[in-house]
């Protein structure tokens, strides 16, 4: 079995690729026909029909087939939708999760399916994530997306009150037999691999038993958020990379790390500290979708030696314009667009609160209004650059000039 490439090999070959957008395709349109099946592996053996060694071999073969992505957009409710995934992919993301989809609602409501799950040809590798507490309902939901995803992911990590009320996410940690049945149901009945995203138990030994149980149940990829269920606030609780390393060493399938990824130096440090195959970023990507291209906000350059970081010739208003362009090609609900506007322009609005107040007053928002709003911000002289290391900058061109 091939082992992962060394860390140094990844960074020596890291580069950003631009992409060409394709016409918008909604789930309801795409679901009519299977697109781009793999003729050599269209019907692979289902996970639990294989021996343990064969499952591990399949896990690594699939991961290798996807290119062993290391820079991954984490699942974010109402925030990791298609246009934002595509924006992050332009700026270095090598794979992405959908937002968490509610398994039962997904099976019952066509409108929910059409609005909450959209994808396109370039939106790969893709992990479609569901929350559920009923194996049969989860399988029904998973079968609807199976042709369009590289993994069906089970959310076992959401710590929010709504997850407690609905009995899903991290609150299934209290019912491990149910968790096992969810994984086994998919592993026995899907052709696409099953992945899981988990949080830590307070005791490391419980976390390791949990990870091994998931592997034995048929999980072929494990993403570990390095915080417990009670550690909801990432600004107050640092992710435990040592615990993630312990999980990586306890299982034989590929493992991803989630937590404490604020810039590319964190990516490097996390990969070295944990030995995982890749990292996920969530909150930081919301304010800086160019994180994986080496850009960072002012917060993460303050205190550094003068001259180490320079204006990257890119800012969050530039990124918002790109995002809005993508939303015009790949429509999403306006509540999602509003959320991204606030995340991207939060610091800008703090300097021009009257523009934020006018935005918040809008009952109905249009693209024209949002483009004009960005122009208003520019006209006030407001600009908050994103920064890159001076050694990575070309002398004359901006990033967008180089990659458009």
| Cα Rg of the chain (Å, integer) | 21
The CB density around residue 178, as the number of other CB atoms within 10 Å, is 14
Q: Three-class SS of residue 280? A: strand
- Give strand pairing partners of 101: 130
Look at residues 119, 24, 38 and name the one whose alpha carbon lies nearest to residue 81. Answer: 119
Instruction: Using alpha carbons only, give the angle 15, 387, 258 rounded to the nearest 5 degrees.
Output: 65
The Cα 283–Cα 295 span in angstroms is: 15
Report helix, strand or coil for 156: strand
Q: At what angle do helices 353-361 and 367-379 cross, to 10 degrees?
A: 170
Residue from 158, 219, 270, 327 carrying the catalytic annotation: 158
Instruction: Mention every residue, 6+ apart, whose C-beta is less than 8 A from residue 385.
Output: 298, 311, 312, 313, 314, 315
Is 270 an active-site residue?
Answer: no
Residue 138, token pair as written in the block: 């989860």
167 Cβ contact partners less than 8 Å away, ≥ 6 residues apart: 133
Nearest 5°: CA angle at 286, between 280 and 287? 125
The backbone torsions φ and ψ at residue 128, rounded to the nearest 5 degrees and listed phi first, read -95, 120
Contact 171, 229 (CB under 8 A): yes
Question: Strand, helix or coil at 186?
Answer: helix
DSSP for 47-58, written as a single string: GGGS-HHHHHHH
Peptide bond preceding 320: is omega within 30 degrees of 0, i.e. cis?
A: no
Phi and psi (nearest 5°) for 94? -105, -5
**Tokens encoding 340:** 């991204």
Q: Which residues are catalytic?
A: 158
């Amino acid at each position: 079995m091939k082992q992962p490439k060394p860390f140094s090999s990844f960074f020596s070959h890291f580069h950003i690729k631009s992409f060409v957008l394709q016409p918008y395709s909604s789930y309801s349109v795409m679901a009519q026909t299977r697109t781009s099946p793999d003729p050599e592996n269209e019907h692979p053996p289902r996970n639990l029909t294989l021996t343990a060694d064969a499952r591990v071999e399949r896990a690594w073969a699939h991961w290798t087939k996807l290119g062993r992505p290391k820079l991954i957009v984490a699942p974010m409710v109402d925030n990791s939708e298609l246009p934002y995934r595509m924006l992050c992919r332009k700026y270095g993301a090598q794979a992405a999760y959908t937002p968490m989809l509610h398994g039962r609602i997904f099976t019952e409501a066509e409108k929910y399916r059409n609005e909450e799950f959209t994808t396109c040809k370039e939106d790969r590798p893709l992990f479609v994530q569901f929350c559920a507490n009923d194996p049969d309902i989860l399988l029904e939901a998973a079968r609807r997306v199976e042709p369009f995803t590289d993994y069906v992911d089970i959310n076992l990590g959401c710590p929010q009150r709504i997850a407690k009320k609905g009995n899903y996410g991290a609150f299934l940690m209290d019912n491990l037999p149910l968790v096992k049945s969810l994984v086994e149901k998919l592993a026995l009945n899907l052709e696409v691999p099953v992945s899981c995203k988990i949080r830590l138990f307070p005791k490391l030994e419980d976390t390791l038993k949990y990870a091994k149980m998931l592997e034995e149940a048929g999980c072929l990829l494990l993403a570990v958020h390095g915080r417990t269920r009670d550690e909801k606030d990432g600004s107050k609780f640092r992710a435990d990379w040592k615990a993630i390393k312990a999980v990586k060493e306890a299982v034989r399938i590929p493992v991803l790390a989630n937590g404490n990824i604020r810039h590319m130096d964190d990516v490097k440090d996390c990969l070295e500290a944990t030995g995982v195959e890749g990292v996920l970023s969530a909150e930081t990507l919301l304010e800086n979708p160019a994180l994986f291209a080496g850009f960072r906000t002012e917060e993460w350059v303050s205190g550094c030696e003068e001259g180490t970081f320079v204006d990257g010739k890119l800012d969050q208003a530039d990124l918002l314009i790109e995002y809005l362009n993508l939303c015009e090609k790949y429509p999403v609900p306006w509540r999602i667009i509003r959320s991204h506007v606030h995340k991207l322009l939060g610091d800008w609005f703090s300097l021009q609160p009257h523009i934020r107040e006018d935005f918040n007053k809008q009952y109905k928002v249009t693209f024209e209004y949002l483009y004009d709003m960005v122009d208003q911000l520019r006209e006030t002289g407001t600009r908050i650059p994103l920064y890159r290391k001076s050694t990575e900058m070309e002398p004359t061109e901006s990033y967008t000039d180089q990659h458009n």
